[in-house]
A and B are shown apart, each in its own frame.
Chain A
């Protein structure tokens, strides 16, 4: 079936440094999402993105976070600077029309901030 690829699967970074998480969404999908899952907890919505713009973001999407998808390449989540509480698994997802259609999730990127 359709696959969302996330690169890398695991990243370790020093606190205060910048990190970029990459997502290759399903081809021809137009809506993109990032979710955050702290170990042992539920997944929580961070942001959704359509037509080059952030459509909606939660309170978890701090000012240090940004998303973009330049020229149809990877959909990225950048954190600058990173903090210890940013350690989590970040899941990327995509869907074709954004409402009422199946959302496909990647396998996640485990971010460890030390």
Chain B
């Protein structure tokens, strides 16, 4: 989307390596969520963030509202991390979430 831009659009990682996904917002975001959409199409909620950072296992996410971006760091990538990662931001304090176009991640053995 034009309000929420994700990068890269696609990523291939070797198992065991680290990487970071990024989400930039064209206007001020109040909250950010990161999701993993698995091959079946289901959304898995990874993080919900107000400005700050959260960590869960091999995943860590940060949201900087002043610089209008969020990152998702993947450490020690595993095969099951493959899928499409979406960030979604609540913009302008309204009751809707804008999604990015997603990053397609493939983790190879």
Contact = CB atoms under 8 A, between A and B. Distances in A.
Interface of A: 1, 31, 33, 35, 37, 41-45, 48, 50, 55-56, 89, 91, 93, 98-100, 102-105, 107-108, 110
A104 B97 CA distance: 11
Interface residues of B, number: 24
Contact of A99 (B88, B93, B101): B93
Label chain B's interface by main secondary structure: strand
A13 B43 CA distance: 24
Label chain A's interface by main secondary structure: strand
Contacts of A50: 95
Interface of B: 1, 30-31, 33, 35, 41-43, 45, 48, 50, 86, 88, 90, 93-102
A33 to B, nearest CB: 7
Contact of B95 (A1, A43, A56): A56
